[in-house]
Structures are given as structure tokens and as C-alpha cells.
Amino acid sequence: MREEKTNTLIIETPEGISFSLLLAGPTTRFFAWAIDLACITAVTSTLSALLSTLGLLSRDVAMAIVILMYFSVSISYGILTEWHWRGQTLGKRLFKLRVVDEQGLRLQFSQIVIRNLLRAVDAMPFLYLVGGVSCLVTRRAQRLGDYAANTIVIRSRPSLELDIETIAAGKYNSFRDYPHLVARLRQDVPAQEAAIALQALLRREGLDPDARVALFRDIASHFRSLAAFPEEATFGLTDEQYVRNAVESLFQSRDKTSSQSELTHDRHGDIIL
């Protein structure tokens, strides 16, 4: 069966555990490469300007050094930075990209060298056309160099917590005063429903006003049926604010929840299965 192109690579370990990696597309990679190219140009032009300013060497030797320097920097930049920063160049760091082994194994030096030397083919005929097309058509968004080296380029997952912080920025959450009800909510709301509520909040600005009211009314009434917060906690809350409080309580990280609710636990207690 032909496997479909996807932007996520799921690696399943023999232990039956799977973890996922988000594949980087050609556009982001192209921008990262542009940054890298700027770095290479900056380094070589600074060094050659320095050489000519100092004037310590004859014109011939200085020219030879510039030629060799440009060559070595352009070839070794990708290899050395990806080796030193475990799969990242400056451009990749900036765009939160990383080269990893296709099977999730440790990235080998030879893999880094091959993917960087094969740029010669990927860059053909101009502006990485071959590599770009290869990225678009291969299932794991690999250019030819990646294909030969068994590597993929992944991007870091956008932080979900950041989104929640944006939703609840500076807002008082009256549900925090009722940790036992928050706990019940966290236990009773299935993952899919929580995700729907989060998505609704993230996209709320793009909704039609009537649809927005109707959507949040439905979600809020569903949450109310699962955990009934006392009236003083919900007094004056619109449906949307209710859902916002609920989502923040559901997704809020453990540290914040515990500090806010001032719950104390036996840290050495074992888990109950």
C-alpha cells in the first residue's frame, strides 16, 4: 500500500511506544538556508576585508587565502554547525528546525557530511530547485541529500502552553478556588472535547458573532453538566468566559495549578493504578 505524504513522522519503538516528529516543509527550510547563506557571506567578507586591511601578506597569498577560506567556510559551515549543535545551523536554530536521523537514532557524522556535500545536486539548476521539488514529492519532505544520508528535518512543536497563556493572559480564573471541581473536570472531560474547546477559543476572533455565541453556549452547557461550579464562581460569567476558565483549568500546567490552589501532596506517595 502506498503511504500518504504527511507532515508528521511517528516513530514506534519496539517497546510499543510511539513518539511523533513534525516534518519541516521546503519554505521554512529555504528561509533557514537564506540565513545560513548570509552568515557564510558575512564571515568570509569580514575575514577577507580584515586580510586586505592588514596588508601583511602579498596580494597573491591574500587572494589564495580568500579563495580557500570561502571554499572551506561554505563547505564546512553546515557540517560543523550541524555537528556541534546536534543537527542545527544558525538558520535552523532561528526557525526551530533540526536535522535528525530518519529512524530516530543518533545522528552520525557521516550522515551530516553526506547531506551537506549532496547540496551540490540539490542546489541544481538554481536556488535549490531539485532539492525543493524533492522535498515536495517525497513522503518525508527530504531533499536528495537527506534521502542519501537517511536524515529528515523536523521543526519543534509550537508550545501549547503558550497558546493557553495567551487566552488567559491577565484574566482572573474563578475556578481556581475550587480545586476539587477542577480535578473532577480534568478527569471527566475526554481529550477530544478538551481539544475542541481549546480550538474554539484559539479561533474565536475569526468566527461570525452569532455562530460564536452559539458555539460557546453549547460547549459551556456541556461542561456545566460535567462539573457544576457553585454560583459565586460562575456569577456574571458569559458562556465564552466560562469555557475559557474551564480550558485554562484543564490545560494549565501542574506547577501553576498546585501553586494556585496551594494543594499539598505527599511527594513520595506512590501512584495509584
> Which residues form the interface with other proteins (CB under 8 A)?
11, 13-17, 19-21, 58-61, 63-65, 67-68, 70-71, 75, 86, 101-106, 108-111, 113-114, 117-121, 144, 147-150, 157, 159-161, 186, 191, 194-195, 250-251, 253-254, 258, 263, 265-273
Q: Tell me the three cell numbers of residue 162.
A: 503558550
Terminal CA-CA length for the chain: 39
Contacts of 154 (CB under 8 A, 6+ apart): 9, 21, 22, 23, 24, 97, 98, 100
**For other proteins, the closer CB: 114 or 220:** 114
Query: Treating both helix axes as pointing N-terminal to C-terminal, what angle do 160-167 and 239-251 enclose, rounded to 10 degrees?
Result: 150
Q: Which helix or strand (DSSP H or E) is residue 8 part of?
A: strand 8-12
Q: Which amino acid is at 44?
A: T
Q: How far is the CB of 105 from other proteins (least distance, A)?
A: 5
d(CA 73, CA 186): 54
Q: How far is the CB of 189 from other proteins (least distance, A)?
A: 8
**For other proteins, the closer CB: 120 or 214:** 120
Query: Treating both helix axes as pointing N-terminal to C-terminal, what angle do 179-188 and 239-251 enclose, rounded to 10 degrees?
Result: 80
**For other proteins, the closer CB: 127 or 214:** 127
Asked if residue 151 lies in contact with residue 142, where contact means CB atoms within 8 angstroms, the answer is: yes
Q: How far is the CB of 208 from other proteins (least distance, A)?
A: 29
**For other proteins, the closer CB: 196 or 213:** 196
CA 261-267-270 angle, to 5 degrees, is 115
**For other proteins, the closer CB: 17 or 56:** 17
Backbone angles phi, psi at 155, to 5 degrees: -120, 150
Q: How far is the CB of 253 from other proteins (least distance, A)?
A: 5
Q: How far is the CB of 100 from other proteins (least distance, A)?
A: 8
Q: How far is the CB of 78 from other proteins (least distance, A)?
A: 13
Handedness of CA 96, 97, 98, 101 (dihedral sign): positive
Q: Which amino acid is at 78?
A: G
**For other proteins, the closer CB: 228 or 263:** 263
